[in-house]
Amino acid sequence: MNQSKSGLRKRGVGADDLGAQDVTDASESANGSLKTLDAIDGNDVVAEDARDATVWGKTDGGDLFKVPTTHDVLTLFHPSYPKSHFDLLSLFLLGSQLVIFWLFLSSAQSHPRPDRPQTYSKIFFLSYFFFWRAMYDAGLGWILTKQSKRKWIVNLVKHKAWFDENRRPKTSAWLKRQLVGKMGQDYHYDTLPLEYNTWLLFRQVVDIILLNDFLSYVLFALSNLDFLFSRATSHSSVDSPGMVTLRLLGGVALLLFNLWVKTSAHDVVKDYGWYWGDCFFSRGYLRKSTHNTVPLTDAKEADENAEGSDDLQFDLVFDGIFEMAPHPMYSVGYAGYYGVSLLAASYSVLFVSLAAHAAQFAFLNFFENPHIERRYGVRKVLAERTPIIPISRNRTHNDLAAMNSAATESAEHNGMQVGRSRSVSLETSSEERTAFESEYGPEHYHSGGPPHPNIHLTTDAEIVASITPPNGVSEVVQEAVTQHDLLNKFFRKDVIVLSGLDLLRSQDQLILLLTGYIIALAILPMLQLSSNTILHLHFVHALTWRIYYSFILGLILKGQSDSRFLVRHFLEHYHYSPLSLTESPGGRGDRGVKEGAIREAFDNWKGMYNLGMVMCYVSFFGFALQTYHLPTAWTVGDELLRHTMGVLLVALHLWASKESYEVLGIFGWFFGDFFIDDYPSSLNYTGIYRFLNNPERTMSGAGLFVIWRSPLKHSRRDWVGIYRHGANKSQRITKTSTLGLWVPVHDEEWDGDVPRPLTDHSEGEEAECGEIVFKNSTLPWQTGDYELRYHHDGKYNVVALVGTIQIYLDRPDALDFKSIRQWLLKIVMLALDSDPSLIPKSSLETISHAAIQQRLPALLSREFNGSTTSLATATPSSMSTHSPGTSVGSSSGTPNLSHDIHDDDFRFWSERQAKRISWAISQVLNIDFAPEVIVADANITALTRRILASKELLGP
């Protein structure tokens, strides 16, 4: 099939290198020469007519090979094509289904009750269809997910040596016959990589599942056609002939549309995409950076000439049917299900179709999309700070550059660093300002016009302190705003429908309250409740609000009094932008962080308190109305007296509340002294004290060095795992999972968590001892006592162990800016796995790589094969370097801020790394910041200021 563009995988991803040949032209392109790319307007582009270019495959190991011709599944039914044993099994299963269906039909013709065989046929083929659908969506989804993540199928084939002629000669010969018989002349079994042959084997298994899944569904639908199982010659229908005709035409149209979608999608993705070939190898065209046409005739020459070029290209292209609908194979590609439902006129077929289609979407969601993201997606870092520089409509680029240049030169002249924000003071007299405005317009004065010669920088603290600037001075503040900072400034755990609810936010309580009341108003009238039941509901309603107002709000207020509960909650779970990152008077925390947390906590408390008070009285009033009856005779009995006393008591309550408010004021009314310490007030609540319990729990993240000694000729599959002390009762066999906390003795003998086939090594290559390191994800991030276990030959037999090793966290030297910042630099670097692309630049200059502190027990060893295998832990030497701008000997706690604030920025690959930092701060400083707060700050200085502000608010 000719096409101007190369195609796209059936799961919505395609590339210039993916599937540019189909069954009809594969043999032509397989032996063609490589078409190099010509430069058009200085850019390398792919030639439009790419169908003559050689299609290359490339394994993850870098092996390059020509992709042979493959044939689609329809060749299974072509008598001239050879059949493998897998094909024969598939034909047998398909034929068995047809025979069973024929038996059900025959039984219905002779059975006294034809509906019985029809019912049995429905049950059988429904169960059979669900089995194959589960094999497809659950089975293949699970296997392909493991293959996509860890190359599980390929590693299994390697481990079982199914293609190894030396280890498994019979199995290898049998598999070779199954593959060679179905391929063309351009297929060379012995020269192609294992990954490609494994994929050919896998696709034959897929054919069995897909074909049986399809046929069992069709036979289930046929089982719902009553006229096939009934002996009557005519049937009455409740539908008019016109409706029947429309139903049949609609069903046929959907079937034809489904056929067109499937064939079009296959034309685009080819067998490579149809059978998930990108889980096994890459396929595409070599794209050279030069513009000379160089024909390549074999994979070796192509691999040699590929140096310095872009190898294989994987640009995502939405082509053909994929331009019409997203994931057409899983969306509109199942329109035939509903066409069959119309033709069968059966709700049973419709609901089964809906269930099967839903299962296919689950396959798309849990395997397909994550695989596409892993394979083709761009890995995105968290907390990436990309500056957004707004340009005034009256400011040119030259003006902006000149202003920035002048400001930078002035800062460097005064020995200052330009931080994330700066303030430019334009000192002018009123006459100069008038002349300035007349020349450039008044908007230039505040939006930024030509630079004034008298420019100097002032700090953010000076701006905050100076509420009214002196006469003749005007402030123009320029913020180097980033998308990350804007996002965390305006979006802070916002509620989407009911997701992200925080029950300590008053507006979130209102959302739940209104939702609940609307649902109750819709349901209660339908229940037709008696008056007595309604009375009981009003009692429960009033009692609930009284419990909320008196008990729940009381507990919150007590928690705020005891441990600053409410302020702590908002401080730990929400991000508050600091006023400044460049000023820290006396090494204290940032005022913006502290005031932001207090303000939001107090505002939400006021909302909750007022809501509780109002609803408490309103609900009680509603309950009272249910028991009240307007008297018919006011002067008879005690009716008038009761009403008079009731009105007086209500008036007394209102008067008492008004007097209380006048005495307490709005500050006392809302218990402001529980939140604001420095507010001038004469209120004195005795018996209120603050208590803060800081449990001391610590952990280390540095690397754990282990020295091992083992006999010569020991197994190269030996490995060492680290376990919780006491987790394994036996010292001979390990029975608990490592949870990924293990390191191989010889790393080159392992492919991930699967041992490679053993290779011969000379005696000189066998080491008697060596050193391994537990670091990054192999090192525990939980404190406690651990033990090391040396295991033999990739198994769980223990030949040596060391215990107990205590892992804990270092603590900052003091609760001042410098100590906290130095401690955070070390914690952040360890939490980010020392990735240079993530850690702050300042850590490369100022961090002290502290040695691991651990308590070493006596060395434990075990005799093994007449020799000794043993383990010992080694402590790395301590290295410390200090940048010239860091005050090493200072003890005042005032930070030295000569470093650039931007150098303190750090980023993340995943939220798991932010959780490590949050956990470390919690263990050492007893402040439970949410990971979102860590990601929002993403700056050592900002996080240090936040910690100091938190300690000042919450106590030591």
Tens-place pLDDT, residues 434-485: 443 444 344 443 333 444 444 343 444 443 343 333 443 333 444 567 888 8
Beta strand ranges found along 687-797 (DSSP E)? 704-709, 719-724, 742-744, 750-751, 754-755, 769-774, 784-791
743 within 8 A of 717, measured Cβ to Cβ: no
| Other C-beta atoms lying within 10 Å of the C-beta of residue 853 | 12
Say if strands 742-744 and 719-724 run parallel, antiparallel, or are unpaired: antiparallel
Share of the chain above pLDDT 90, in %: 28
* pLDDT band with cut points at 50, 70 and 90 for residue 226: confident
Does residue 396 carry a pLDDT above 60? Answer: no
Compare 927 and 416 and report the one with higher pLDDT: 927
pLDDT at 199: 95
Q: What are phi and psi of 514, to 5 degrees?
A: -65, -40
Kindly report whether the peptide bond that precedes residue 544 is cis, defined as omega within 30 degrees of 0. no
The answer to whether residue 20 scores a pLDDT higher than 60 is: no
What was the pLDDT predicted at 657? 85
Instruction: Count Cα neighbours of 917 within 13 Å in the Cβ-side half-sphere.
Output: 35
Tens of pLDDT, residue by residue over 791-802, are 888 888 888 888
Give Cβ neighbours of residue 197 (< 8 Å, ≥ 6 apart): 163, 175, 179, 189
For residues 885-912, average pLDDT: 59
Q: H or E segment at 358?
A: helix 347-363
8-state DSSP, 776: G
Residue 182 has pLDDT above 80, yes or no: yes
At 39, the amino acid letter reads A
Lowest mean pLDDT among 259-268, 286-295, 562-571: 286-295
Edge-to-edge order in the sheet of strand 719-724: 742-744, 719-724, 784-791, 798-807
Backbone angles phi, psi at 434, to 5 degrees: -65, -45
- Reported as a pLDDT band with limits 50, 70 and 90, residue 705 is confident
From 217-231, 568-582, 927-941, the region with the lowest mean pLDDT: 568-582
Give the C-alpha separation, 830 to 78, whole Å. 61
Residue 634's pLDDT band (cuts 50, 70, 90):
confident
Tell me, what's the pLDDT at 833? Answer: 79
What's the whole-number average pLDDT of the chain?
A: 74
Kindly state the average pLDDT of the residues 267-276. Answer: 88
For 339, residues 6+ apart whose C-beta sits below 8 A from its C-beta are 250, 251, 252, 253, 254, 255, 257, 258
Local confidence band at 5 (pLDDT 50, 70, 90 cut-offs): very low
CB proximity list for 455: less than 8 A, separation 6 or greater: 406, 407, 410, 424, 425, 426
Beta bridge partners of 742: 721
pLDDT at position 79: 85
* DSSP symbol at 719: E
CB of 76 closer than 8 Å to CB of 68? no
Q: Are 34 and 301 in contact (CB under 8 A)?
A: no
Is 762 a residue whose pLDDT tops 50?
Answer: no
Burial of 110 (0-12, 13-18, 19+ CB in 10 A): exposed
Provide CB contacts within 8 A for 306, sequence distance 6+: 64, 286, 288
954 versus 680: the higher-pLDDT residue is: 954
End-to-end CA distance of the chain: 74
Taking alpha carbons only, the member of 85, 86, 87 closest to residue 76 is 87
Which residues have CB under 8 Å from 688's CB, separation 6+?
561
Query: What does the pLDDT read at residue 288?
Result: 55
Whether 154 contacts 280, CB under 8 Å: yes
DSSP bridge partners of 949: none
pTM for this prediction: 0.60
- Give me the DSSP letters along 570-591: HHHHS----S-SS--GGGPPPH
Q: Is 680 exposed, middle or buried (CB count within 10 Å of its CB: 0-12, 13-18, 19+)?
A: exposed
Strands (E), 778-908: 784-791, 798-807, 848-849, 861-864, 867-874, 879-880
Residue 329 — pLDDT band, cuts 50, 70, 90? Answer: confident
Residue 809 in contact with residue 853, Cβ under 8 Å? no
Residue 612, pLDDT above cutoff 90:
yes
Amino acid at 217: Y
Single out the residue of 953, 897, 951 nearest to residue 583, CA to CA.
Answer: 897
Q: How confident is the model at residue 10 (pLDDT cuts 50, 70, 90)?
A: very low
* Residue 556: closest CA among 611, 492, 491: 611
pLDDT at residue 394 in the model: 45
Tokens of 105: 């039909």
Predicted local confidence at residue 476, as pLDDT:
41
Question: What pLDDT does residue 746 have?
Answer: 83
pLDDT (mean) for 636-653: 88
Summarize the confidence of residues 915-941 as an average pLDDT.
87
pLDDT bin (cut points 50, 70, 90) of residue 761 is low
pLDDT at position 357 is 95
Element (H, E) at 350: helix 347-363
Work out the pLDDT band at 433, boundaries 50, 70, 90. Answer: very low
Higher pLDDT: 482 or 346? It is 346
Q: What percent of the chain has pLDDT over 70?
A: 70
Identify the residue with better confidence: 234 or 563.
Answer: 563
CB 748 within 8 A of CB 778: no
- Rounded to whole angstroms, how far apart are CA atoms 855 and 907? 34
As a whole number of angstroms, the distance between CA 785 and CA 808 comes to 9
User: What contacts 141, CB < 8 A, 6 or more positions away?
Assistant: 362, 363, 366, 367
- CA pair distance 276, 273, nearest whole angstrom: 5
pLDDT value at position 873?
55
Could you read off the pLDDT of 491-533 as tens digits, one per residue? Answer: 888 888 888 899 999 999 999 999 999 999 999 999 989 989 9
Which stretches of 332-386 are assigned E, i.e. beta strand?
none
Could you give the CA distance from residue 603 to residue 617 in angstroms, rounded to a whole number?
Answer: 22
What pLDDT sits at residue 865?
A: 33
Structure tokens at 241: 């002939």
Give me the mean pLDDT over the 890-916 stretch. 68
User: Is the pLDDT reported for residue 186 higher than 80?
Assistant: yes
Which residues lie below 8 Å from residue 640, measured CB to CB, with a gap of 6+? 634
Report how far Cα 521 is from the mean position of its chain's Cα atoms: 39
Better-predicted residue by pLDDT, 821 or 955:
821
Instruction: Flag the least confident range among 136-140, 211-215, 444-448, 783-787.
Output: 444-448
- Phi/psi region, residue 381 (left: phi>0; alpha: psi -120 to 50; beta: rest), is beta
In this structure, what token pair is assigned to residue 236?
Answer: 């009455």
Residue 383 near residue 934, CB atoms below 8 Å: no
In this prediction, residue 290 carries a pLDDT of 44
Identify the weakest region by mean pLDDT among 209-223, 285-299, 489-503, 874-888: 874-888
CA 371 – CA 391 distance, rounded (Å):
41
Q: How far apart are CA 334 and CA 611, in angstroms?
A: 52
pLDDT at 195 over 80: yes
Specify the amino acid at residue 488. Answer: N
Q: What is the pLDDT, as a whole number, of residue 101?
A: 95
The beta strands (E) that lie in 301-454 are given as 387-388, 421-427
User: Would you tell me how many other CB atoms lie within 10 Å of the CB of residue 798?
Assistant: 19
Using one digit for the tens of pLDDT, what is the confidence trace for 813-850? 888 888 888 888 888 888 887 788 888 888 765 544 33
